[in-house]
Structure 1
Amino acid sequence: MISIATKVHITELNGRNRTAWDDFVYTSPNGLPTHLSGWQTVMHQTYGYETHYLLAEQAGEVVGVLPLFFVPSQLTGRRAMTMPGGLCTQDENIAEALLDAGLTAAVSHNLPRLILQDSRQNWPGNGYTAQTRTQHVHWRVALEPSEDELWNRIDGNIRRQVRKGRKNGLTVAVDRSGKLLDPFYAAFSQFTHQAGTPVFGRSFLENIIQTFPEGFNIAVIWYEKQPIAGYFQLIMGGTVYGMWGAALHKYLSLRPAYLAIWEIMADAIAQGHTTLDMGRSPADSNASKFKGQWGGTAQPIYQQVFNERHTENTASIVNQVGSDSKYTLFMRLWPKLPLNITRTVGPRIRWHVPFA
């Protein structure tokens, strides 16, 4: 496909251009681990989705990528979605060309809309019917060259909470081999059960580990030989990205979250990384306030819905999940189900909402 207006050539990801795709993501200021081509394999293996990974080239150089997959759900709506992070480019014209190609592919499969998930940029509609919601932020913390320097820089209250965690008998392990996947999943799935959110399957994480064997780590907090908190990070370009993590509510007084974040930071420094991206949180939430204590800066995250040009308004679509009483009722009922059942049923529900 050729976009004459911007002189951009749009192609599908294939075996010949996969390396060029990833090289672009690695070097782009807007590149994220979730933009990497390997997620095409992860999403297909985990959910069986049809994927359309679109690559923009100009004068023989890669100038943008759009990692797209199709969710043909009758429950939550048929749609084309990006990986968290949206599209990756620095040019609005390139973004428009990628969106145009993505919408063309979506419409050809009878999918009425394209959603840029967790975009770090607010892309203009440029004639498309679009709706943008900004309810989340991500916190980025610059690390120090040494653990001692970081310890001396962070707030005194943070240091006290970390010490309390240790005095309370908590221990922590950070793993880069995948051996802590089971205890992580045990703690995380229990947390999501209590929170009323269906958990993704263990196979999802297995596929990530297999596809990115050097691009992740797992931190687990233990109390009396039980995993009470777990955090799964992705790693790229000197930055550690928090993806999924939680501490069980009944143990929060032991300060597992403080100890976990500190140890993740200390491990990142030991591995030569320079930044911790603490991941997405609702703005002004307790989670966001907790992350804000560590001395970082908050930056907005955008959810953007694009329809074909001159189609219906999408405001009701982009706000649907947060306002629909059916979802509120579901969240109240989910914790009442047995944990083992939610671990079985949850992954089937997540096929309809792969990233919640």
Structure 2
Amino acid sequence: MASEQPDQVSVKQPTGSEAAPSAPAVTKAKRQPSELERLQALIPPVYPEPVELTEAAQSSGRYRCDVSQTPPAGWDDFVRQHPRATLYHESVWLKTVVDTMGHEIAYVACYLESAAEEQLQAVLPMIRQKSRLFGDIWTSIPLVNYGGALALDKNAEKHVLKAAADFARSSGARHLEVRGYHKQPTGWPERTDKVNMWLPLPADSETLWKGFSSKVRSQIRKGQQNEYESRIGGMELLDDYYRVFSENMRDLGTPVYGKSFFAGILTNFGSSARLIVIYCKGEPASCGFLVAQETGAVKLLEIPWASTRQAFNSLNMNMVMYWEILSHAADTGFDVFDFGRSSKDAGTYRFKKQWGAMPVQLYWHYALFQADELPAINNNNPKFKLLVAIWQRLPLCFANRLGPAIVKYIP
């Protein structure tokens, strides 16, 4: 049976004066990406573009992992070319921590080997912190929010993670903690209660200002009504920075890093590490430690440490400081400002969110060797409540003298 054909419709084409005027072309407005989409576009890929292996390497497919106390050949070159690399993966950062705190370090490297050659496929740095109070732990990487494996693909990542865990277990450690902002292929227990807060930046501070809520702008203006001065610099600001930072840490009940640690970072990283100090009525009131780095194609400014003295909280010096930092970052070409780590929905999370910052999920993975529960080394742990209360009452000179010997063991 023949298929039915649709009816043929004859359409009369208008001619001459009957012709209708042509409709004006309609240009559809291009949809602008949302802030969330813009943020997601700034997060670099977990793995680089696939690299073309030599025929010899392809035919081998064997992985070998080495662990050493010094960076193997090609470590820093591999790190700098990886889209997820951070300054903290580089050997100069790791050496700074070891030199100022005296910790043991392990560079875990994974190779794809063949009869003719071997090619670096993944790296993972980790640092050991061993004490009676906090236990024996390896962390990749302590003191900061980023770490973990950098790999060319998931298979190499699995191998380097396993090698790291095997080495940490054989050392007698209690556990290995691996930090990062992607879910690493471990199968280990993980903690996801922390996020980093990223703010995508516009091209200039004027646009940035217009994007703030009226409440934020009002709080900044209130602080600016006071007699204040903002300085961004290096070693010349360290004493004033440390005065603010150490006093605030004591008031929070947290041991403070030694001044030599911050001096080491400023010395080793040059213009990539800067200090900001806000002075109010001639007194150092607020401070921040700024780290500039490129993660993939993204130019990022991070503030891993910041403080304000309690006496200046009511004067909104904290708001003034963050405005000074953010306006500087926008006007000098940074793509993202990283406010640092917060617990979800905590007070610091809400503070950062009001500026327009959005959460980037952090994944902390744990290879447990001598424990069944995830570690809880923080001020909320009942085990440390009494110690926190005692610390808050210490004279500042004592807290600054004792603090570095304790805090260096807290990951």
TM-score between both structures, scaled by the size of structure 1: 0.88
Matched, 1:101 2:155: no
Matched, 1:213 2:270: yes
CA distance in 2, matches of 1:239, 1:22: 19
Amino acid at match of 1:234: V
CA distance in 2, matches of 1:112, 1:197: 23
* SS of corresponding position for 1:110: coil
Q: Which amino acid aligns with 2:354?
A: Q
In the alignment, is the contact (CA less than 8 A) between 1:231 and 1:245 conserved in 2? yes
Q: Provide Cα deviations, 1:19-65, integer angstroms capped at 9, x if missing partner.
A: x4334333433222222221221121111111112233447554432
SS in 2 for 1:303: strand
Equivalent of 1:255 in 295, 316, 325: 316
Report the structure number with the largest CA radius of gyration. 2
Alignment of 1:135-154 (within 5 A): 135-154=193-212
Deviates more, 1:147-156 or 1:133-142: 147-156
* Counterparts of residues 125-136 of structure 1 (less than 5 Å): 125-126=186-187, 130-136=188-194
2:170 pairs with 1:115 = no
Number of aligned positions between the proteins? 339
Aligned pair partner of 2:285 in 225, 228, 231 = 228
Q: Which residue, 87, 91, 111 being the options, matches 1:33? A: 87
Aligned amino acid, residue 49 of structure 1:
H
Alignment partner, residue 232 of structure 2: 174
Bigger mean CA deviation after superposition, 280-289 or 269-278: 269-278
Provide, for residues 169-222 of structure 1, a one-character-per-residue CA deviation record: whole Å limited to 9, x for no partner: 2221111x3211111110010000000000010011111112211321111111
Matched, 1:331 2:385: no
Structure with higher strand content: 1
Give the whole-Å Cα distance in 2 for the aligned partners of 1:98 and 1:268: 36
With over 3 angstroms needed to count, the CA separation of the structure-2 counterparts of 1:321 and 1:267, relative to structure 1, is closer
Structure 1: gaps of 5 or more residues: none
Give the residue type in structure 1 aligned to 2:172. N
Q: Is the 8 A contact 1:132 1:318 kept in 2?
A: no
Q: Match for 2:339 among 278, 290, 297?
A: 278
TM-score (norm 2): 0.76
User: Which letter maps to 1:221?
Assistant: I
Q: Aligned in 2, Cα 1:146/1:13: closer, same or farther, shift over 3 Å?
A: farther
Match of 2:399 in 1: 342
Distance (whole Å) between structure 2 residues aligned to residue 320 and residue 218 of structure 1: 28
RMSD between aligned residues: 2.3
Does structure 2 conserve the Cα–Cα contact (< 8 Å) formed by 1:174 and 1:220?
yes
CA contact (8 A) 1:161 1:258 kept: yes
**In the TM superposition, what whole-angstrom CA distance separates every residue of 1:79-120 from its partner, at most 9, and x where no partner exists?**
111113131335433332122221222233222321124x21
Q: For 1:258-337, list aligned pairs within 5 A.
A: 258-307=319-368, 313=372, 315=373, 317-319=374-376, 321=378, 324-337=381-394
Distance in 2 (alpha carbons) for counterparts of 1:260 and 1:147:
14
CA contact (8 A) 1:87 1:95 kept: no
1:31 partner SS:
coil
Shift of 1:320: 5.5
Identify which range, 5-14 or 258-267, moves more after superposition: 5-14
The structure-2 alpha-carbon separation of the partners of 1:275 and 1:263, relative to structure 1 and needing over 3 Å to count, comes to same
Residue 24 (structure 1) aligned to one of 69, 78, 88 = 78
1:239 aligns with 2:300: yes
Q: Cα gap change, 1:62/1:242 in structure 2, threshold over 3 Å: closer, same or farther?
A: farther
Amino acid across the alignment from 2:140: T
